[in-house]
Structure 1
Amino acid sequence: MPGLFDPITVRSTTLRNRLWVAPMCQYSALARDGVPTDWHLVHLGSFARGGAGLVIAEATAVVPEGRISPEDTGIWNDEQAEAWRRIAAFIRAEGAVPGIQLAHAGRKASTFSPWGDERHGSVPLEEGGWPTVAPSAIAFEGYAEPRALDAEELPLVVAAFAAAAVRAVEAGFALIELHAAHGYLLHQFLSPLANLRTDAFGGPLENRARLLLEVVRAVRAAVGPELPLLVRFSATDWAEGGWDQDQTATVAGWAREAGADLFDISTSGLVAGVRIPVGPGYQVPFAEHVRAAAVVPTAAVGLITTGAQADAVIREGRADAVLIGREFLRDPHLPLRAAHELGVELDYWPPQYLRARWS
C-alpha cells in the first residue's frame, strides 16, 4: 500500500503527497463583498509552504445568498475571482495543488460568524442578512425559516455552480470540491430530514440526489475532462431516519459516473443537538465504508492529528488521502514535521527554511 508521502494522481493532476488541507471557513471577507484578502493569502499560502499536497480554500459561495455569513468569501463575480488569482498562484508556486470548495449554504446561510459578535443564529435583514432558501420550508434549529425553492429555480442553482467553477479555473485553481456536507444546500436535498419535496427532487433516493448529480455533470462539462473534481459528503446525520453511510456510498457511485473523482467523507451538520462519538479518527470508518462499498477513492477526516495516525490510514487502505483542519491551524508546517517523524526525506523544503531542517 502507498504511504502518506507517496504521490497520488487524480485525472491529469499529480499531488506530491496525500496529506491535504481541509477547507476551513475564516469569516474574514470583512467588507462583506465576498472578496478574499491578505488574510486568505497568508492563511492558505502558509500550508503550501509547509508541504501540503493539496490546499483547499474555504467554502466559497456561488451566489450571494449562498454565503454562510456575510463575511464569507464568494466567487460569483469577476472581482472575487481576480482576488483569488494571486492566492492560487502562490499555492502553486510553493508546490501544492490549489483547490477551492464551491458551496451554497441553503437554510444555514445568513448567520452570524462564530467570532466578532456574541450573537448566534440568523442575521436580521436590517443588519445585512437575507432570506434563505432550502428544499423545503424547514428551519435549522435556531435559524430563520427558509423559503422552499421552486423547481424552476433549481436550474439556476446548477448554473451558478458551473459558472463559479469556470471562474475558479480562470483564477488558477487546479481542483474543485463541491460541498454536499455539513447541512448545507446540497446536503439538505440529500437528507430526508430536510427534504420533504414531492416533485422530482424529493422522495426516493434517486430524486433527492438529482440536484447534486446535475451539479456534478454541469461542473464537469464546464471545466472539461482533465480537472479533478471532489465531492464532500456528510456520511451520516447521526439522527434516526436521516442520511446514512449506505446512501452516501450509493450516491458516491452515481456521482463518480457523473464525473466526480474522489469523495471527501465527513459527517453531521444537518441536525442540531445530535450525539456524536467524537474521538481520534472517529470519521475514518465512514471513508473506509464508502471506499469499499462504492469502489471509489476517498479522503478521510476527523481528529487526525499526527503523521503516524495519518500514515496508518493510508497504509491500511482505509482511505486514499487525509484532509486535516485543526492540526494545520496549530502547525502550518505539519507535513514537514510529519515527514521527519516518519523518517521520510522530502525534496520540497522551502530553501529559505533549510537551516531549520532536522539532521
Structure 2
Amino acid sequence: MPELADHLRLPCGALLPNRIAKAAMTEGLAAADDRANERHARLYRRWAAGGAGLLVTGNVMVDRRWLERPGNVVIEDRRGAAALAEWAKAGTCAGNHLWMQISHPGRQCSRMSSSQPVSASTEGLDLLGLFARPRALTGAEIEDVIRRFATTATIARETGFTGVQVHSAHGYLLAQFLSPVTNHREDEWGGPLENRARLLLEIVRATRRAVGDDFPVAVKLNSADFQKGGFDLPDCVRVAGWLAEEKIDLLEVSGGTYEQPKLFGYEGRAETAAEPQRASTRQREAYFLDYAREIRAAYPLPMMVTGGFRSRAAMAEALAADELDVVGLGRPLCPEPDLPGRLAAGSVVGATPPPPLRFGRSRWAGPASPLMLMKFLNVQGEMAWYYRQILRLADGLAPDPSLSIGRALAAHARDEWRLSRARRRAMAVRRPLVEG
C-alpha cells in the first residue's frame, strides 16, 4: 500500500517524488504589469524546500481583460518569460514538480478587475453587488479561449514548469460552462452535458497537442457546485470518464463556487450524495473524498483530493484505502511551509490548527441580508488571513499566526484596491483592448 513518502509514476511517465501536493492558492503577487516577479520565486523556493512532491501555482490567467483578482499573473505571449523561468527554477529547486494552474475567471471577475465580465450565458453572480452581470461569449471568442489555454501551456513548458493544471472548478469559466445553472446556451456549447463539457475537453486536447505526450496535463474538477439544478455527482463522474479517455495525468477533485464556498469548508464539510459519512478520521477531514471514491470506482484515473486534510492519520488512511493517489494541502502550508516534509517523514501528527478566524457566529438567526453579509465577511476574512501569510513568505518573512482576522481583512482590501487602481492606469496606456 502506498505511503506519503512514496513516489508516483504518472501516465505520461513523469515521476512525483512523494504523495503530498501543495494545492493551488491564488497569490496576488503580480504588479500592475500582470507578470511574475522575484516574489513568486522567493515564495515557491520556500514551498519547494518544504518537501511537497508537487507544487501547483495559483490562477494564471489567459486573458488580461479578465482576472480572478488584482495581482494575478497573466500569460498571453512570451513577454516576461525570463521571470517565469526564474519562478520555475526556484519552484523546482528541491527536485519536486511545479505545475502551472491555467484559468479564466468568467463571471467570477470582480468589478475591481473588469466591469464587463464574460461567461457561458448572462446569469449574474448575486454577491453584494461586487460582480457585474456577464455577457455570453460568442462562438469565435470560445475558440479564442481554447487557443489561449494552449498558448499559456506552451509557454509554461518552455520556461521550465514541469506540468500544467487546467482549472475547471470553483465556479470559474470552465465550471460555468459545465453547470446548467450558468450555461443556458442553445448551441454546441450548451444543453446536454456532452455540449457543456465541450469547452473543457477541447482545451485539454489543445493543451496536450501543445505540450506533447510526455508532459503532465492535469485537471481540477468540481465534484459538484452545490446549487439546485447544478453540476452534480453523476455529471462529475461522466466528465471524469471523458477526461480518462483523454489520458490526463491527474484529476484533482474539489467543489463549490463563490456563492457556495464549500471548498473552504464553510459551515462544515460538504454534504454528499454518494453515501452517508463514516466516522473515520479521513471522512471527518476530507470534504470531497466520497466524490473521489465514486469516480475511482468507475475509472482508473490518478486522483488528487484537496480540502480539509489536516492529520497525517487521515492522509495515510486515505492512501491505504486506495481512495486517492495524492493528498492536496492548501491553507496549512501558509503558516507552515515546511509541513509536507515533516508529514512525509512522520515527525508530526498533522497541521497546527490556526487561531479562530471568525468575526461572529457562522449561523445567523436574523434576516437573509445580514446572513449573507456575515458569511461574506467570514469567508473573506479567512482568505485574507491566509493571503497575508503568503505575502510574508514571498517577502522572506516568517508567518505571523498572531495576525487578527480584522487587520488581515483591512490590509487585504487596501492592497487590492491600490493594485486595482494601478492596474487600471497601466491598462489605459497599453494598446486598446475590446471588451465585448
Same fold (TM over 0.5): yes
Match of 1:104 in 2: 104
Counterpart check, 1:211 vs 2:199: yes
Contact 1:188 1:270 in 2 (8 A): no
Check the 8 A contact 1:220/1:259 in 2, yes or no: no
Q: TM-score, normalised by structure 2?
A: 0.72
Query: Secondary structure of the equivalent of 1:107?
Result: coil
What corresponds to 1:184 in structure 2?
172
Report the alpha carbon displacement of residue 337 of structure 1 after superposing the two structures with TM: 1.4
- Which residue of structure 2 aligns with residue 5 of structure 1? 5
SS in 2 for 1:86: helix
**Aligned ranges 1:272-287 → 2 under 5 Å:** 272=260, 277-278=268-269, 280-287=285-292
Residues 173-201 of structure 1: CA deviation (Å, up to 9, x unaligned): 11110000000000000000000000011
For 1:20, the equivalent position in structure 2 comes to 21
Q: Which runs of 5+ in 1 are unaligned?
A: 112-121, 344-359
Structure 2 gap ranges (5+): 270-283, 349-436
The alpha-carbon deviation at position 297 of structure 1 amounts to 1.7
* Structure 1 Cα separation of the partners of residues 310 and 53 of structure 2: 16
- Contact kept, 8 Å, 2:225 with 2:260, in 1: the verdict is no
Correspondent of 1:132 among 117, 121, 125: 117
Q: In the TM superposition, what is the alpha-carbon distance from 1:81 to its structure 2 partner?
A: 3.2
Q: How many residue pairs end up in the alignment?
A: 328
Q: How does 1:41-80 map to 2 (within 5 A)?
A: 41-80=41-80
Q: Which residue of 2 aligns with 1:82?
A: 82
Alpha carbon RMSD of aligned pairs, Å? 1.9
SS of alignment partner, residue 65 of structure 2? helix
Query: How far apart, in 1, do the equivalents of 2:227 and 2:74 lie?
Result: 31
CA distance in structure 2 between the partners assigned to 1:252 and 1:12 by the alignment? 21
- Residues 183-228 of structure 1, C-alpha deviation per residue, up to 9 Å, x if partnerless? 0000000000000000011010000000111000000001011111
Instruction: Give secondary structure in 2 for the equivalent of 1:64.
Output: coil
Structure 1 letter corresponding to 2:327: V
Secondary structure of 1:102's aligned partner = strand
For the 8 Å contact 1:104–1:184, the answer to whether it is kept is yes
Separation (CA, whole Å) in 1 of partners of 2:125 and 2:77: 28
Following the alignment from structure 1 to structure 2, what is the Cα–Cα distance between the partners of residues 169 and 219? 11
For 2:234 and 2:134, locate their aligned partners in 1 and report how far apart those are by CA, in whole Å. Answer: 28
Structure 1 position 277, deviation (Å):
3.6
Report whether the alignment pairs 1:288 with 2:293.
yes
Instruction: Give CA deviations for 1:52-91 in whole Å, capped at 9, x if unaligned.
Output: 1011111100111242023211222323333111111122
| Structure-1 residue corresponding to 2:390 | none
Confirm or deny that 1:339 pairs with 2:339: no
Alpha-carbon distance, 1:7 to partner: 0.3
Whether contact under 8 Å (1:265, 1:301) holds in the other structure is yes
CA distance in 2, matches of 1:342, 1:333: 12
Pair 1:321-2:306 in alignment: no
Displacement of 1:17 in angstroms is 0.2
Q: Counterpart in 1 of 2:229?
A: 241
List 4+ stretches of structure 1 deviating above 3 A.
270-277
- Give the match for residue 118 of structure 1: none
Change (3 A) 1:81 1:57: farther
1:89-108 Cα distance to aligned partner (Å, 9 max, x none): 12222111111100000001
- Structure 2: distance between partners of 1:336 and 1:53: 9
Residue in structure 1 matched with residue 150 of structure 2 by the alignment: 162
Structure 2 residue aligned with 1:265: 253
Give the alignment's TM-score, normalised by structure 1: 0.87
2:285 matches 1:297: no
1:272-328 C-alpha deviation (Å, 9 max, x unpaired):
488864262122222222222233221011111132222221111111111110111
Identity fraction in percent: 34
